[in-house]
Amino acid sequence: MISTSLAIDSKLPWVGTTIFTVMSKLAADCGAINLSQGFPDFQAEPALFEAVTRAMNDGRNQYPPMAGLPELRQAIAGKVESLHGARYDADHEITVTAGATQALFTAIAAFVRGGDEVIVFAPFYDSYVPAVETVGGRAVYARLRFPDYRPDWDEVRALITPRTRMIIVNSPNNPAGSLLTADDLDALAELTRDTDIVVLADEVYEHIVFDGRRHLSVAAHPLLSTRSIVVSSFGKTYHITGWKIGYVLGAADLMAEFRKVHQFNVFTVNTPCQIGIADYMRDPARYLGLAAFYQHKRDFFREQLRGTKFELLPCHGTYFQLARYDAVSDLPDRDFAVWLTREIGVAVIPVSVFHHDGRDDRVVRFCFAKQESTLAAAGERLRRL
Ligand SMILES: Cc1ncc(COP(=O)(O)O)c(C=O)c1O
C-alpha cells in the first residue's frame, strides 16, 4: 500500500462503493442467488462473437474514427429512422460511446458549468448526480411519485430557474420499470420551450417494453429532438454489458459540443466490437425480439412470486421488478436486502439507494435478466418466506 500525505479535498465526499458492488460481493460471500446487479447470466448469440473475432482476425484492431465507425453509425441511423421516423445524420449527429455511462458523463461535462442546475427525477440511476457534481453543477430533485412512479410536471415547472441547464429523463426507468407517455413528453417540451435547457434522455432500455406498449423516444418528438441528447447502450440490447459500448444521438450543434469532450475523454471506442455490432445489427429481429424475450422472463419471475407476501409493482419496461415487502418485514430496505441475501439466499437492491434523501418506501428491486433456472431457484427460496 502506498499512502499519501496530500490533503484531499474530495469533489465527491459522499460517494463510496456502490450498492451494486456491495450486494454482488455479499451474494458471492453468502452463496446467494444474485438478482441485485443488472446483468444477464446468459450468453449473447455466437454470431455476435464470431463477427467480432472475424474483425480482429481481419486486422481491424487500430483506432477507428473518433465519432465511431461509419458502418456502425449508419446502422444506428437506419435503426432510429425505421423505429422512430427520425433522421439523424450519421456523420454529424451520432457518436459511438464506451457504454451509456460514458455517454451520460460526457454529455453532462459538455453542457453543465459550475453553478448550473440539473433536474433529476428520483429514484434515479446512480451515475447522474456524481457526474453533475464532478463538473461543479448542482442536482435539483423532482420526484417520480410512489407507487406508480409518474412525474409531476407542476413540480418540475416550480423547480426550473434561470440556472437550470439540463433535465435528465430515463425511460424505460431503472429502477421503477415505468415509462414516459406521449403526454409526459409534450409536457416536457412545453416546459422547456423558449429555454436553453438541454434534455439528456437515458433510453438504454429502449427495446425492453412490455404488454404491447411502445417506447416513446424523445428522438421522435418534433420539439424535444431538437434539444436532446439521447443515450442508448448495446450492453442492454445485446446481452453484453461487459463490453461497455453504446451511442448518442443529437442535433449537429449539440453533437459538436459533445464530441469536443468525447474526443479528449475516451477519443474512440474499440474497433472490433463496433464492426461486430454493425454486422449483427443488420437483422432487426435481434433488437425487435427483445421485448418478447424479456416479457417472458418478467412473467415467469412474477409467477414464481405468486402466493408470496411480496406485492409486485407494475413493470412496463426494463429487466427490473420492484416489490413491496412491508407484509414480510418491518426492516428498513437496506437491512432487509442484507437479511434476504444472508438468510434466504437471494440478493436484491434496496430502492432507497436510488433516492438522494434515502427515502424508503419498503421496496426492493429484483433483476430478472437471468436464466429461468436461476429465477426458479430464487422463487423457490422466496416462497419459503
Ligand atoms: C438507466 C441506466 N443508464 C445507464 C446505464 C449504464 O449503461 P452502460 O453499461 O452501457 O454504461 C445503466 C446500466 O445499468 C442503466 O440502468
Cell representation of residue 101: 455511462
Lining residues, ligand 1, CB within 6 Å: 38, 99-101, 125, 170, 174, 202, 204, 233, 235, 241, 244, 246
Give the single-character DSSP code of 341: I
Task: Provide long-range contacts, Cβ within 8 A and 24+ apart, for 131-136.
Answer: 131/104, 131/105, 132/108, 133/11, 133/12, 134/11, 134/12, 134/105, 134/109, 135/108, 135/109, 136/112
Cell representation of residue 281: 445489427
pLDDT surpasses 90 at 20:
no
Q: What is the pLDDT of residues 220-276, one digit of tens each?
A: 999 999 999 999 999 999 999 999 999 999 999 999 999 999 999 999 999 999 999
Instruction: Give the residues across from 294 on adjacent strands.
Output: none
Q: Can you list the alpha helix ranges (DSSP code H) found in 2-93?
A: 19-30, 46-57, 70-84
Q: What is the pLDDT of residues 180-206, one digit of tens each?
A: 999 999 999 999 999 999 999 999 999
pLDDT surpasses 90 at 132:
yes
Residue 44, number of CB atoms within 10 A of its CB = 16
**Residue in the structure block whose three cell numbers are 450492453:** 235
Q: What is the pLDDT of residues 41-69, one digit of tens each?
A: 999 999 999 999 999 999 999 999 999 99
Atom of ligand 1 at shortest distance to CA of 202? 3
Cα separation, 124 vs 144, in Å, equals: 9
Q: What's the pLDDT at 40?
A: 96
pLDDT surpasses 90 at 150:
yes
Centre of ligand 1 from the C-alpha of residue 385, in Å:
31
Compute the mean pLDDT over every residue in the chain, rounded to the nearest whole number. Answer: 97
Show the beta-strand stretches assigned E in 171-288.
198-202, 228-233, 246-250
Cell representation of residue 215: 417506447
Atom of ligand 1 at shortest distance to CA of 102? 11
Q: What's the pLDDT at 86?
A: 96
Do 119 and 153 contact (CB within 8 A), yes or no? no
Q: What's the pLDDT at 29?
A: 94
Nearest CA to ligand 1 atom 13: 38
Question: Which of 92, 164, 168, 160 minimizes the C-alpha distance to 129?
Answer: 168
What is the percent of the chain where pLDDT is above 90?
A: 97
Centre of ligand 1 from the C-alpha of residue 127, in Å:
9
Write the DSSP string, 255-305.
HHHHHHHHHHHT----HHHHHHHHHHTTSTHHHHTHHHHHHHHHHHHHHHT
pLDDT surpasses 90 at 352:
yes
Centre of ligand 1 from the C-alpha of residue 101, in Å:
6
Confidence of residue 17 (pLDDT cuts 50, 70, 90): confident
Q: What is the length of the chain?
A: 385
Centre of ligand 1 from the C-alpha of residue 126, in Å:
9
pLDDT surpasses 90 at 19:
no
**Residue in the structure block whose three cell numbers are 463538473:** 135
